[in-house]
Amino acid sequence: MAETYLVEPDLGFIEEIGAMGGEDVKKCFQCATCSVACPISPDIKPFPRKEMIAASWGLKDKLVGNLDIWLCHNCGDCSSRCPRDAKPGDVLGAVRAYAIKAYAAPKFIANAMDDPRKLPFLFGIPALLFILVGFITGLLDFTPELNHYGKIAHGEFFSTWLVDIFMIPASIWTVAIFALGIKRFLADIHQNALKEGKTDKQSINPVEFVKSLITVVPKILRHDKFNECTENTERSTQHMMVLFAFIGLFIVTGIFFVVLYVFQIHGPYSQLNPVKWLANISGVALVIGSAMMIKTRMSKTDQVSTYKDWFLLWLVFAVGVSGMLAEMTRLADMAVSTYTIYFIHMVCVFSLFVYLPFTKLAHLVYRTVAMTYAEYANRGF
């Protein structure tokens, strides 16, 4: 006698996925064209057909902890070939957005990231904190004199100490939230993989997992999987520019932090300094790459773009533009402009750090973990 299963769709989940860009999921009639068309889908239990079934039925538990939603790079191959225009790529993108929200805490910030009405508060609160703490500590002065060289005295306007008072806790906050999320995420995708027969490994060996990570990172840096796709190939270059820009700026920040606190050498530094070259190249790459992403998304009228997509794109663009403008106005000795732009820049950078686990940019972490697990579990990805 055949077994009977009771399926209880989560209607709220279906509605939320629709609001996040997956509103066409109900058009899917399970032809499996998407799984056939996807060049990076594994041969065993390929995606995204099974994910489209689960999404249309509101089976949240089969999706949020599903490894395969992160192996999808949303290149568009499946969506462009779908005979029903169900947009499988956008549906999986919506599921990933839901998963990011599910693994991030506290929830009130995750919910605020979905509400455009909360935007003034998301930026207004850090701006007020900078001003309040800056004036209380005396580390912020909007009207400093030029230094004895007749140049803008950055250290007297926005003290390095004030930057670090906020940025160090923000970094710790971000790492802690990701650590808690990854712990749950790994447990969920491993349980799902065992249940659905995607792996025969009964537990996760930390040493072997790290070896898999070392194997996967070069593939991510080269965008190997992204470049296997045939649609929207131009997005690979844009993503690589932004990714390497962030890596470059991270290296620069680390070097300047060590030079300042270990060697007690204060800036600003010469434009001929090699580290300054890396900072400028990374800044330009961030501006151009994010601008190209915005232009591409605007031109793709058939692609679903949500508020969260635009929030992240414009925030990254603002970080790059404000940083470069602050440097250019400083070199031109435009004191008032520099102070204003640099203040905006620091608010944007702080916001990028603090809200990172709640934005689409969190896929840098979760997709890396998922691809590492796929390598470790012999998923065939």
Residue by residue, DSSP assigns 251-290 as: HHHHHHHHHHHTS---SPPPTTSHHHHHHHHHHHHHHHHH
Q: How far apart are CA 338 and CA 333, in angstroms?
A: 8
SS (H, E, C) 338-354: HHHHHHHHHHHHHHHHH
- Are 158 and 133 within 8 A, CB to CB? no
pLDDT surpasses 90 at 149:
no
Q: To the nearest whole percent, how much of the chain has pLDDT over 70? A: 93
Question: What pLDDT digit, counting tens, does each position of 164-200 carry?
Answer: 899 999 999 999 999 999 999 999 999 999 999 899 8
The two tokens of residue 225 are: 């999987």
pLDDT of residue 346: 93
**Mean pLDDT, residues 127-152 taken together:** 77
* Mean per-residue pLDDT over the chain, rounded: 89
Looking at per-residue confidence, does 76 or 53 come out higher? 53
For the chain, what percent of residues have pLDDT higher than 90? 64
Q: Looking at the DSSP assignment, which residues form a beta bridge with residue 244?
A: none
pLDDT for 234 equals: 77
Q: Do 265 and 259 form a contact (C-beta atoms < 8 A)?
A: yes
Neighbouring C-beta atoms of residue 248, cutoff 10 Å: 18
* β partners of residue 289: none
Contact between 185 and 103 (Cβ < 8 Å):
yes
CATH homologous superfamily of 11-103 equals Alpha-helical ferredoxin (1.10.1060.10)
pLDDT band of 135, cuts 50, 70, 90: confident
Grade residue 225 by pLDDT with cuts at 50, 70 and 90.
Answer: confident
Show the DSSP H helices in the chain as ranges. 11-17, 33-37, 49-56, 61-64, 68-71, 77-81, 88-103, 107-112, 119-137, 154-157, 160-195, 206-222, 224-228, 234-261, 274-299, 307-331, 335-355, 363-376
Note the pLDDT of residue 343. Answer: 92
Q: Is the pLDDT of residue 157 over 80?
A: no
What's the half-sphere exposure (Cβ side, CA atoms, 13 Å) at 289? 22
- Lowest mean pLDDT: which of 129-133, 266-270, 372-376? 266-270
Of 66, 39, 29, nearest to 51 (Cα)? Answer: 66
Query: What 3-state DSSP class applies to 157?
Result: helix
Long-range contacts of 159-162 (CB under 8 A, 24+ apart): 159/134, 160/260, 160/266, 161/137, 162/130, 162/133, 162/134, 162/137
Give the start-to-end residue ranges of the domains of the chain: 11-103, 107-376
* Residue 196, φ and ψ in degrees, nearest 5: -100, 5
